[in-house]
Amino acid sequence: MPPKISHPVLRNLEDLFVPALRSCGRVAELKRVHARIVQHSLSQSNFLATKMIDVCDRCRDLGYASLLFRNVVDPNVFLYNAIIRAYAHNFMYSLVVTVYKRMLEDEKILPDKFTFPFLIKSCGGSMSENLGKQVHAHVCKIGPARHLVTENSLIDMYTKFGNLEDAYKLFDDIPQRDAVSWNSLISGHVRLGQMTRARELFDEMPCKTIVSWTTVISGYSQVGSYVNALEIFRQMQTVGVEPDVVSIVSVLPACANLGALEVGKWIHMYAEKHWLLRKTCVCNALMEMYAKCGCIEQASLLFNEMNAKDVISWSTMICSLANHGKAKEAIELFQAMRRARVDPNGVTFLGILSACAHAGLVDEGLEFFCSMKRDYELEPDIEHYGCLIDLLGRSGGLDQAMDLVQAMPVKPDSKIWGSLLSCCRTHGNLEMAVAAMEHLVELEPDFAGNYVLLANLYADLGKSEGVSRMRKLMRDRNLKKPPGGSSIEVDNMVLEFVSGDSTKPFSRDACRMIELLESEANLIIQRIQAGVA
């Protein structure tokens, strides 16, 4: 049995190992330090075991962390908190609960204010509301009377469950809320798509952080309210808050969907100036923005300059090439991805199947579809079947497309039948179009576009009674074709145009410009006709 060491001497010995543990970047280095700790009879030191578990947490080796924890016979509250924190950081939520239960069984240990935040996070992460409420009861019974971090964790947990009623009770009960309190509640509304209430809270918030701005920007982008996302981004710049990686990645989809190329270019320059292009996620978002704004060459240049490409980078570029009708380049890039030993995912195959559909490459598309399961063990979902059906239908293989629809392992949705209806119109197949329309009437009875598509097919075939029947159905259901719309960027402002909308302040000027252009076009046509005559 090793000689007993007095407390001051023991602490001095423990302190000698702290610099070595701080410098550990890999578990192999930690094991060497651990061996020396054992040699000095310090294997039961709670202090050193806690430090070693923190190293394991950094290195993502939770197996060794578990071994260290189990090896200590008499763990203290700091060691319990260290292993709970490590498990929570690595999403091992069930183990967090297991350790907490053992902690409660130890009569010498009482959970403290550092225990509960990570335990509460684990309840939210595992989406166990019943367990979360039990932990909340423990906080009320044995936890700190007032601890803002714990209270904020509880608010965040309840918002993840969609239980905003209990979240508000906690929020209203906090005497001095901080930015995290507000952000947690705003995030809850964003998760539920309740952007009106999220915006109201954001506007009421006394002291906004970059997280506050980013949460609202991201929320607007997620619900497709891109104009509002850009508006908040500009407000953030106006008040002097500098964008970070998350805010940039959140606002770029808004730029992409609105065609706000100038804002996107500014973000690119900002990211380059602040060394943010080293982040793969930023480059991926920029690539998608450039591609959706029509600048496929700029997207390709950015892709080629990237040092670290992940599967999202390859997939984004392949999908972008496909959407720009560059099927050959998309297929070549897919083969390059394989050579780079990057395994494609479902999104990659959506891109490559879409490329084949646009180029009419039936054999290649069928081979890629089969390759999903055969080579990569990826189960095709309804979107992959939709791409293949579109490919077969566009190329005239309507019978094959219908056979595939009927053989699908999942029930065809409105997009599948809509794609088939569109292909039937292209190839003049009325019988199959009517069959597709029967399903569409059940799935989306109020979508006028389907009725218009079938009416146009009747008109193409000279069947006026069919056209009249479709128009009568639309009148009976009070359906109207949705107005067309577009947007342009002027002086870093996105202006939206909707057909028939004369309420905008620039509508009169726009109409005058259209009349002027029509007049000029007619003059040119008259001169050409006169010259020909």
Q: Convert the pLDDT of each residue in 403-425 to its tens digit.
A: 999 999 989 999 999 999 999 98
The Cα–Cα gap between 142 and 152 comes to 17
Pairing of strands 493-498, 485-490: antiparallel
Q: What is the mean pLDDT of each run of 10 residues along the chain (533 residues)?
A: 50 82 91 92 92 94 94 94 95 94 90 93 92 93 85 94 94 92 95 94 94 95 93 93 94 92 94 93 96 95 94 96 94 95 95 92 93 93 92 90 91 91 90 91 88 89 89 84 60 60 66 80 79 57
Q: Between the CA atoms of 28, 31, 32 and 38, what dihedral angle is there, to the nearest 10 degrees? A: 180
pLDDT confidence of residue 414 = 92
Tell whether 436 is covered by a domain. Answer: yes
Indicate if 255 and 283 belong to the same structural domain: yes
What pLDDT score does 447 carry? 87
Note the pLDDT tens digit of each residue in 379-399.
999 999 999 999 999 888 999
Asked if residue 279 and residue 328 are part of one domain, the reply reads no
Q: Is residue 9 part of a domain?
A: no
Answer yes or no: is 455 within a domain.
Answer: yes
Q: Is 380 helix (H, G, I), strand (E, B) or coil?
A: coil
User: Comparing C-alpha atoms, which of 216, 265, 249, 271 is closest to residue 316?
Assistant: 249
* 299 in the same domain as 342: no
Number of domains in the chain: 3
> Same structural domain for residues 407 and 390?
yes
375: Cα separation from own chain's centroid: 27
In a domain, 223, yes or no: yes
Q: Are residues 215 and 270 in the same domain?
A: yes
State which residues form the domain around 462.
Answer: 381-485
64 domain-assigned: no
441 lies in some domain: yes
Question: Is residue 139 one of the residues assigned to a domain?
Answer: no
515, 523 Cβ separation under 8 angstroms:
no
Whether the CB-CB separation of 383 and 391 falls below 8 Å is answered with no
C-alpha torsion sign, points 136, 139, 141, 145: negative
Task: Evaluate whether residue 280 is within a structural domain.
Answer: yes
Helix axis angle, 398-407 to 382-394, nearest 10°: 160
pLDDT score, position 532: 55
233 and 290 co-located in one domain: yes
Q: Are residues 449 and 350 in the same domain?
A: no
